[in-house]
A and B are shown apart, each in its own frame.
Chain A
Amino acid sequence: MDAIILQTLNGLDKGSAYALIALGLTLIFGTLGVVNFAHGALFMIGAFCAVTVQRVLTLSIITLDPTKTDFLGNPAKIKTPYVEKFFGTDIGAGIIDWSVPIAILFAIPIMIAIGFLMERVLIRHFYNRPHADQILVTFGLAIVLQEVVKHFFGANPIPTPAPEAFAGAIDFGVLIGFDPNQIVYPYWRLIYFLFSMVVIGGVFSFLRFTTFGMVVRAGMADRETVGLLGININKRFTIMFGIAAAVAGLAGVMYAPINSPNFHMGMDFLVLSFVVVVVGGMGSLPGAVLAGFMLGILESYASLNEIKAIIPGIDQIIIYLVAIIILLTRPRGLMGRKGVMEE
Chain B
Amino acid sequence: MLGLNKKDASLLLIVAVLALCAPFILNPFPEGSALAQFNAGYPDLMQRFVIYGIFAIGFNILFGLTGYLSFGHAAFLGVGSYSAVWVFKLIGMNVLPAIAFSIIVAGLFSLLIGYISLRRSGIYFSILTLAFAQMSFNLAYSVLTPITNGETGLQLTLNDARILGQQATPDGSIPVTNLLPGIEMRQSVQWDVGGWLFTFNTGYYLAAVFLLISFYIAIRIFRSPFGLMLRAVKSNQQRLNYTGLNTRPYTLAAFVISGMYAGLAGGLLASMDPLAGAERMQWTASGEVVIMTILGGAGTLIGPILGAGFIKYFENIFSKINENILHDWFSFLPQGLQDFVVTIVAPFFGEGWSLSMGLMFMAIVIFLPGGLVDGGKRLGKLFRRKSQDDTTPGQTTPAE
* A interface residues (Cβ-Cβ under 8 A, vs B): 35, 122, 125, 129, 131-133, 135-137, 139-144, 146-148, 151, 267, 271, 274-275, 278, 282, 312-313, 316-317, 320-321, 323-324, 327-328, 331, 341, 343
Contacts and interface: CB of A to CB of B under 8 A. Distances in A.
Contacts of B294: 136
B134 A271 contact: yes
Nearest to B145: A313
A274 B347 CA distance: 30
Which among B121, B122, B352, B359 has the highest number of chain A CB atoms within 10 Å? B122
A103 B361 CA distance: 33
Interface of B: 67, 69, 116, 119-124, 126-128, 130-132, 134-135, 138-139, 141-144, 238, 283-284, 287, 290-291, 294, 347, 352, 354-355, 357-359, 361-362, 365-366, 369
B142 A313 contact: yes
B123 A131 contact: yes
19 contacts: A35-B123, A136-B365, A139-B290, A143-B357, A144-B358, A151-B347, A271-B130, A274-B130, A275-B130, A313-B139, A317-B138, A320-B132, A320-B138, A323-B131, A324-B128, A327-B124, A331-B124, A341-B122, A341-B124
Contacts of A274: 127, 130
Q: Report, nearest first, the 9 A-B pairs whose CB atoms are least far apart.
A: A313-B143, A143-B358, A147-B355, A316-B138, A140-B362, A144-B358, A320-B131, A140-B361, A320-B135
A271 B139 contact: no
A320 B116 contact: no
Given A139-B290, A275-B131, A324-B116, 4 more contacts: A129-B369, A139-B361, A323-B127, A343-B238
A317 B140 CA distance: 11
Given A136-B290, A151-B347, A316-B142, A143 B132 contact: no
Nearest to A129: B369
Contacts of B121: 343
A interface secondary structure, majority? helix
A142 B368 CA distance: 19
Most buried by B among A139, A275, A343: A139
A317 B135 contact: yes
A230 B234 CA distance: 37
Given A143-B354, A144-B358, A343 B122 contact: yes
Contacts of B126: 135
A321 B139 CA distance: 12
A132 B70 CA distance: 10
A321 B135 CA distance: 8
B369 to A, nearest CB: 7
Contacts of B142: 312-313, 316
Given A139-B287, A327-B128, A131 B122 contact: yes
B119 A328 contact: yes
A74 B291 CA distance: 55
Given A132-B69, A135-B69, A316-B141, A331 B123 contact: no
Contacts of B120: 327-328, 331
A328 B128 CA distance: 10
Secondary structure class of chain B's binding surface, majority of residues: helix
Contacts of B366: 122, 125, 137
A218 B357 CA distance: 40
A317 B139 contact: yes
Contact of A312 (B69, B135, B143): B143
Contacts of A320: 131-132, 134-135, 138
A266 to B, nearest CB: 12
A148 B355 contact: yes
A275 B139 contact: no
B127 A275 contact: yes
A143 B361 contact: yes
Contacts of A343: 121-122, 238
A330 to B, nearest CB: 11
A169 B366 CA distance: 49
Contacts of B131: 275, 320, 323-324
B124 A137 contact: no
A59 B347 CA distance: 25
Nearest to A144: B358
A132 B126 CA distance: 9
B362 A141 contact: yes
Nearest to B363: A140
Contacts of B284: 267
Contact of A316 (B122, B139, B287, B358): B139
B230 to A, nearest CB: 16
A341 B130 contact: no
Nearest to B122: A343
A272 to B, nearest CB: 9
Contacts of A316: 135, 138-139, 141-143
A324 B132 contact: yes
A278 B135 contact: no
Contacts of B354: 143, 146-147
B127 A144 contact: no
Scoring A129, A140, A271, A282 by chain B CB atoms within 10 A of each residue's CB, the highest score goes to A140
A137 B347 contact: no
